[in-house]
Structure 1
Amino acid sequence: MRHLTKKPLAIALALVLLLGLAVPAFAFDAQTSPQGLTVDGKTVACEKYNIDGRNYFMLRDLAALLNGTPSQFNVAYDAERNAVVVTKGEAYTPDGTELHAGVDNSASTVASPQTVYIDGEQAELTAYNIGGHNFFQLRELGKTLGFYVHYDEKTNTASVDASDEDEAWDTGDAAQDNPRNADGIG
């Protein structure tokens, strides 16, 4: 009888050890970000995280903040494709989840399993799902969606300029040389 209870216990211990070793492969060094954010000169509060030294912002927050500007975009979810669908130039339709800063959901950080489509084309963007929402690097979004991003190291503030579309990001090499875009946005 004793022999029968040892085998299930050994299996249970082996599973605990194996699962314990697997967790770090999916773990990210995520924490709330102290970085400030301004949009067209106005200070705004939103949920943001620093993950492995880079700052990530909720896609729907940025869509809400840029709504009504030349850089506006809409965000939708396509359940059939498990995809985030972004349409540049379209007014954003809020879903009530936007601009709720203050809750730390960093413990729930995982790589986003969703594909992102921008104007029908699949986009290669770094994204994390945090608390059920998709977060993206601000600079990557600026380059892809057409708004300027500047970083002020003295104030630890990222600034978004939703300029006229004719002056917005050029997604080619010229964007790298634009003096309005300083390095430092994580």
Structure 2
Amino acid sequence: MKKSIILLGLLILLSPLSVSASSKRSEAKVKEVDLASDEKMAFVSGENVSFDGRDLEIKAYLINRSNYVKIRDVAALLKDTPAKFDLAYDKEKQSVIISKGKNYKDPFSFKEDKRKEEKIVKETRQKIVDDKGQEIELKGYFMDGYNYFRLRDLGKVLDFGVAYDFKDQRVLLSSDNPKLADVFEEDYFTPPVNKIKTKGGEENISFLIYGFDECPYCQKLKAYLDGKGIKYLARDIRDCEGKKDEVFKEFYGEFAEFNDRVYYPTHIMTLEKDGKKISKCVVGFEKENYDDIFKKIYDNTYFVEK
């Protein structure tokens, strides 16, 4: 498959790093409040969770669409598993010490959170180190006397698997598979094919948008395509880290200055012809640029193999 990318200067939105999308997340209604730079809104998470194939409940909060949990709960959950680790606290250095390969003393238990309303939380300043004194970078938030850390980040640091099942809408945890992958419905990322009129006749072209509802340039792009009667598929991949890596590797690799993130909207247009696929990637939205793109599509000069 041939592919190329166009980056539209300033009209791009930076991706927040998140965990797992589900319908439950969209139910959380954020009140209009003034937040300091180190503050976020936290909601009680209602996610279903599967750990090593069995259902369980774990106390978690949604912050920036991501599940945040207490590290001690994870230590208790992973007790007697390949990903076990112990926790200690150095009062003198005010550091939490993580020791991989050792069991945490307490068994895992779940206590239902009776809180229903959202809560403002602050970034934690808690220092975390391994048993050799090396600092571990984990961004977290402080709430009700405890530090909460992003579940996927803990999985990466502590070598246990964290993924999301988009079919059954549940968080997946594995004690022995740190490369656990997200699960999608068949054709989840397959856009409809449009028959677009060109000088050379009708062409089969599909339009796949990686973006999200709150993104203003995503909204403008969708409105533009709607105005042309174009059928497209829009997917939010802020939570799909494996998919983000795939999109970045395929379309962003040649742009070294943007080598650490995927921007939204990332719009993939694909021509299918004679058993071949040629894909073009456009990041951001400028009407003038898209007017030019569709003129080139009509002139059969846009999808050109290099």
- TM-score greater than 0.5 by the shorter chain: yes
Which of 74, 81, 104 lines up with 1:92 in the alignment?
A: 104
Distance 1:106 1:80, change over 3 A: farther
RMSD: 2.7
Q: Which residue of 1 aligns with 2:140?
A: 127
Note the C-alpha offset of 1:106: 5.5
Task: Tell me if the contact between 2:72 and 2:87 (Cα under 8 Å) persists in the aligned partners.
Answer: yes
Q: Does 1:140 align with 2:160?
A: no
For 1:37 and 1:110, the matched residues in 2 are separated by 26
For 1:82 and 1:106, the matched residues in 2 are separated by 29
Task: Tell me if the contact between 2:39 and 2:123 (Cα under 8 Å) persists in the aligned partners.
Answer: no
Q: Over residues 131-183 of structure 1, what are the superposed CA-to-partner deviations in whole Å (9 max), with x where a residue is unaligned?
A: 112211111111111111121123321111111xxxx44xxxxxxxx5x3227
Q: Over residues 78-130 of structure 1, what are the superposed CA-to-partner deviations in whole Å (9 max), with x where a residue is unaligned?
A: 22122111111101012x89532324395362211210112332011111122
Alignment of 1:1-186 (within 5 A): 24-94=36-106, 99-104=110-115, 107=119, 109-120=121-132, 121-163=134-176, 168-169=177-178, 178=179, 180-182=180-182, 184=239
- One-letter amino acid matched to 2:113: G
- One-letter amino acid matched to 2:151: L
Q: Which has the larger radius of gyration?
A: 2
For 2:55 and 2:110, the matched residues in 1 are separated by 13
Q: Over residues 15-64 of structure 1, what are the superposed CA-to-partner deviations in whole Å (9 max), with x where a residue is unaligned?
A: xxxxxxx9634431211112122211121112101112211111111111
Q: Which residue of 2 aligns with 1:3?
A: none
Structure 2 residues without counterparts, runs of 5 or longer: 1-33, 183-236, 242-306
Structure 1 residues without counterparts, runs of 5 or longer: 1-21, 170-177
For 1:185 and 1:69, the matched residues in 2 are separated by 26
For 2:240 and 2:147, the matched residues in 1 are separated by 18
More helix by share: 1
Note the C-alpha offset of 1:185: 6.8
